[in-house]
Amino acid sequence: MVWGVPAGFLESRSLLADGELPLWDRYGHAGSPFLGQAETMLGDPLQMIVILGRGAAGAWDLKFLAAKFLFCAGFGLLVFRLLASLPVASLFAALAAYCGAFFYIYNHPVFFPFCYSPWILLSAIELLELNSDRYLRWGVAWLLANFACFNGGHVEVAVVLIGGLNLAALAHALTSCRRAREWAVVLGRMAAATALFLGLTAPVWMAFLASLPGAFSMHSAVRVFQLEPPSLVGLFDDLFYYFLLPKDALQSLAPGCSLLVLAGCLLSVIRWRALRGMRFFWVNTAAVVFWGACAFGGVPARVLEAVPLLNRVGHNFVDFSYLLILHLTIQCAYGFKAFAAETQLKRAAVELLWTLLGFGALVVWYRLSYHTRPLLWRYFLGAEGGALGALLLHAYLKQRRPRISIAGWTGVVALAFLAQFRFGMYNLGDENLMTVPGPRMVLDAPSPAVDRIKKESADPFRVVGWDQNFLGDYATVYGLEDIRSCAPLTSGSFMDLVVNSPGINLTYGWIIKVADPVAAQPLLNLLNVKYFLAPPGVGLEAGLDYRLTDRSDFGVLENLNVWPRAFFTDRVTPVASTGEFIQRLWANSKKPFAALAPAEIARQPGLQKLVAGTNAAVSAATHYHLRPNSTAFDLHAPAAGLACLTENQAPDFMATVNGHPATILTVNQTFKGVYLDQPGDYHIEFTYRPRHWVLACAFFWTALVVTAALVAGSFRRAKRRETSEPVPT
C-alpha cells in the first residue's frame, strides 16, 4: 500500500495519460528516480493488468490471482518434468496454492517474483537439455520468466531466485555431460541466454546503478543477518518464528512452507536409496543444504559480506528462505513419490514414525534453545497429524486395492488439507493463525479535501500528512506531491537536509515524519509544502502562520509562507555546509533565496557578481508544465540572476533555456538552478534521463530483435521438421 499501489497509479497515469515511460517520480521526496528503483514492476507482464485497470483494487486482485495460477501451473509442470509422474505433478499443482510463503507475502510485491520462480527452473532445465530439439522455444520461455521475475517488484529476492535456480539447472545439466563439447554447449547456451537477459533488463539495472552514487538508502552499510540453527523448524511453519517475537508483533521473522512439506522432505531422506538414480534429486539436496547454510549460519556471515550488493540487503535470511522453500517443496515431491511406491503398510508406518520423531526432535531443539510464548500445541499436533495421516491412509488404501476410490482420495486430501489450512485466505477464523482479509477498498476513494486544494491552486505545490495520513507514497494515488516517501533510493543531500532540520523525525530509520509542523515550517516553506493534512478535529492556535481551510475528511492547514516551486533571484548566498544552510533558512524563511556552495559559484563566473548586496529581487515562475520526466516554466528576469527549481538535483538531468542547453547548478543544497546572464523572458525546462540511457535502450532493442529472430527461427525449424517427417502409410 505504501509503494506498490502508488507505483501502479503513477505508471498508469504516465503511460495512459501522458504517453511517457516513467523514469522520474515527482511525487515523493521532492523528486527521485523511478525506474532506477528497480522495484517498480514496470517490466512485469502482469503489471499491464494494473496499468490498464488504472490502479484499481479489482485489477490488483486479477494480477494476484493470475500470478498464483502461474505459480501452481509452473510448479506442477516442473514436478512432472523431474519425476515423470502425472498424479504427483497434479497433486503439487494443487498443493502449490497453499504454499506457506504466500501467508507471509500475501500483500507484498515479492509475491510476484516468487510466483515466476518455478518457470525459471523449468525453462532453464529444458534450455540446457542436450537432447531437446525445442531448446530455442524453452530459451524464449526462460527469458520471459527471468525478465518477469527481475521486474516483479522486489529485486533483492528476484536476484537470489534467478541466481540460485539457474545455478541448480546448470549443475544438473553439467552432471550429464560426458565430453568437453557437451560442456561447451551447455555453458554456451547459458552464456548466450544470460547476455540476452542482461540486454533486455539493461534499462532497469543501468538506471539503478546510475542512481546509487550519493543516494540515501537503508542498505548503505554492509549488514548480513542470519537465523540461528535451532529456529530451523520455523522454515516449515512460520508460527515457530512468530513465537520468538514480542506479543504485539505483526509478522513472523521469515516465510515458511508447511508441515506437510516437512514430512515429504524427511521421507526423501529416509528413502534416499530409491531416489539415488535421479540426478536432480542430488542437485536439489545440495541446494537445500547450501542455501540452508546461508540462511542459518552454516556459511559464515563474513563470506556473505564479501558479495557486492547482496552484503547490503540485511534481511538475507528472508531472501534465502524463498529459494529454500522452492527446493524443499521439490524435495517433498521426491519423498512422496518414493513413499507412494511402498507396498508394505507396516514398513510405511515405521517410516512415518521416524518422520514424526524427526519433527519432534526439531521442536525439542527449538524449545530447549528459546524461551518463547506458549505454543499452539493443538494446532501443531493437528497439522502434523494430518500430514502423516494423509500419507498413512494413502499407503493403507494402496495396499488394499491397486486403485484408490474417490472416497479414499477425498480422505487423503482432507487430511493433507489439515497441514495447510491456515495458509489460505478465509472470511472467518482466528486472525492469529490465518489471513482474514477485510472488504475490498476503493484505493482512490473520493476526498473532498483533496478535491478542494487541487482546485484552489493553479501553481504546483506539495502536501504533507500528519502521522499516517498519506503514509509512504500514498499521496501519489491522488496525484499530489509529498516530501515523504518509502522509495528505496533517494537523494542523499535531500535526506541530509531534511533529517537535520528541526521538527522532522525519521520512522523505521528512513520514512520522514513531520513531528512538529510549527518548528518545521521554514523547511516546509522551502519545500513548497502548501498544505498540511491533519485529522479533521485539528486545532489551530492564534498567531501561527497557518490557516485552517477545511474540516471534511482532512483538517487542512494552509501554509501562508510557502515558497513558489520555481523563482528568479538576482542575489546568491555562499553556504559551505548543510548546517550553515539550515541556520540561514531558519533566519530567513519567509522570502525565497538561493544559496550555493562556493565551488558551485566558482563554476559560473557570472554568479560571483550576484554575491554582493542584500536586497534581492525575487519573482515567481508562471505557466508550469509538469510531465512525468520533465518540469518546464516561464520566468521574467529583470536582471542577470539565477532561476531556481525546488526539485531534487540528479547528475542525469538536462536543462534548456529558451531551447538552448544550460549548465545545471545545485541550489539550496539539493535542488536545481540555471544561471541567466541577462534580463529577459525565459522558458526553462529540466528533463530527466538516466545516465547511459541511450546505451541501455540500444542494449534492450538489440536483445529484443535477437530474441524475436530466435522465436522466428524456432518456428521455421519446427515447420521444416514437420514437413520432413515421413507420412505413415
- Whether residues 471 and 549 fall in one domain: yes
Q: The dihedral of CA 59, 62, 63, 64: what is its sign?
A: positive
pLDDT per position as a tens digit, 492-509: 999 999 999 999 998 877
Closest CA to 348 of 405, 285, 398, 290: 398
HEC states along 647-698?
EECCCCEEEEECCEEECCEEECCCEEEEEECCCEEEEEEEEECCCCHHHHHH
Strand partners, 684: 633, 657
pLDDT band at 724 (very low <50, low <70, confident <90, very high): low
Residues 6+ apart with CB under 8 A from 219: 312, 313, 314, 488
Question: How far, CA to CA in Å, does 633 sit from each of 173, 567, 568?
Answer: 59, 10, 11
Q: How far apart are CA 161 and CA 280, in angstroms?
A: 17
* For residue 647, pLDDT beyond 80: yes
Q: How far apart are CA 552 and CA 96, in angstroms?
A: 46
Residue 192 lies in a domain: yes
- Whether residues 405 and 548 fall in one domain: no
- Whether residues 125 and 14 fall in one domain: no
pLDDT per position as a tens digit, 70-89: 999 999 999 999 999 898 89
- Whether residues 379 and 237 fall in one domain: yes
- Which 3 state secondary structure label does DSSP give 224? strand
Q: What is the pLDDT of residue 287?
A: 97
Q: What is the pLDDT of residue 169?
A: 97
- Whether residues 262 and 390 fall in one domain: yes
Residue 220 lies in a domain: no
Which of these three, 390, 420, 435, is where a domain ends?
435
- Whether residues 281 and 402 fall in one domain: yes
- Whether residues 540 and 410 fall in one domain: no
C-alpha cell at 276: 539415488
Residue 623 carries which DSSP code?
E
- Whether residues 296 and 334 fall in one domain: yes
Lowest mean pLDDT among 173-182, 239-248, 446-455, 480-489: 239-248
Residue 406 lies in a domain: yes
Q: How far apart are CA 442 and CA 425, in angstroms?
A: 20
- Which 3 state secondary structure label does DSSP give 41? coil
Residues 6+ apart with CB under 8 A from 183: 174, 177
pLDDT per position as a tens digit, 655-707: 999 999 999 999 999 999 999 999 999 999 999 999 999 999 999 999 999 99
Question: Phi, psi at residue 112, to the nearest 5°?
Answer: -80, -45
DSSP string of 299-316? S-HHHHTTSTTGGG-B-H
Question: Phi, psi at residue 462, to the nearest 5°?
Answer: -120, 160
Q: What is the pLDDT of residue 186?
A: 95
Which of these three, 536, 562, 588, is where a domain ends?
562
- Whether residues 699 and 675 fall in one domain: no
Q: How far apart are CA 493 and CA 500, in angstroms?
A: 11
Q: What is the pTM of this model?
A: 0.93
- Whether residues 658 and 547 fall in one domain: no
pLDDT band at 57 (very low <50, low <70, confident <90, very high): very high
Over residues 271-289, mean pLDDT: 94
DSSP string of 418-442? HTTGGGSB-SSS-TTTSB---PPP-
Q: How far apart are CA 589 and CA 601, in angstroms?
A: 22
132 vs 262, residue with greater confidence? 262
- Is the separation of the CB atoms in 170 and 190 below 8 Å? yes
User: Phi-psi region for residue 429, left (φ > 0), alpha (ψ -120 to 50) or beta?
Assistant: left
Question: If 0-12 CB within 10 Å is exposed, 13-18 middle and 19+ buried, where does residue 681 land?
Answer: exposed
* For residue 727, pLDDT beyond 70: no
Q: What is the CATH number of the domain that holds 593?
A: 2.60.420
Q: How far apart are CA 532 and CA 517, in angstroms?
A: 8
Residue span of the structural domain in which 546 resides: 1-37+442-562
pLDDT band at 602 (very low <50, low <70, confident <90, very high): confident
- Is the separation of the CB atoms in 583 and 554 below 8 Å? no
* For residue 539, pLDDT beyond 60: yes
Residue type, 621: A
Residue 449 lies in a domain: yes
* For residue 403, pLDDT beyond 90: no
Q: How far apart are CA 166 and CA 586, in angstroms?
A: 56
Residue 44 lies in a domain: no
- Is the separation of the CB atoms in 647 and 687 below 8 Å? no
* For residue 729, pLDDT beyond 60: no
* For residue 486, pLDDT beyond 60: yes
C-alpha cell at 714: 524456432
* For residue 248, pLDDT beyond 90: no
Q: How many domains does the chain have?
A: 4
* For residue 379, pLDDT beyond 90: no
Cα angle for residues 316, 283, 259 (degrees, 5° grid): 60
Residue type, 250: L
Residue % of the chain over a pLDDT of 90: 71
User: Phi-psi region for residue 19, left (φ > 0), alpha (ψ -120 to 50) or beta?
Assistant: left
Length of the chain: 729
Q: How far apart are CA 457 and CA 690, in angstroms?
A: 31
- Mean pLDDT of the residues in the chain: 91
Residue 677 lies in a domain: yes
Which of these three, 435, 468, 493, is where a domain ends?
435
Q: How far apart are CA 550 and CA 553, in angstroms?
A: 8
* For residue 433, pLDDT beyond 80: no
* For residue 726, pLDDT beyond 70: no
pLDDT per position as a tens digit, 186-212: 999 999 999 999 999 999 999 999 999
Residue 523 lies in a domain: yes
Q: What is the pLDDT of residue 712?
A: 86
- Whether residues 240 and 380 fall in one domain: yes
Q: What is the pLDDT of residue 725?
A: 60
Residue % of the chain over a pLDDT of 70: 98
C-alpha cell at 322: 524463498
Residues 6+ apart with CB under 8 A from 69: none
Residue 645 lies in a domain: yes
- Is the separation of the CB atoms in 147 and 104 below 8 Å? no
* CA within 13 Å, CB half, 677: 7
Residue found under cell 542498505? 219
- Whether residues 250 and 263 fall in one domain: yes
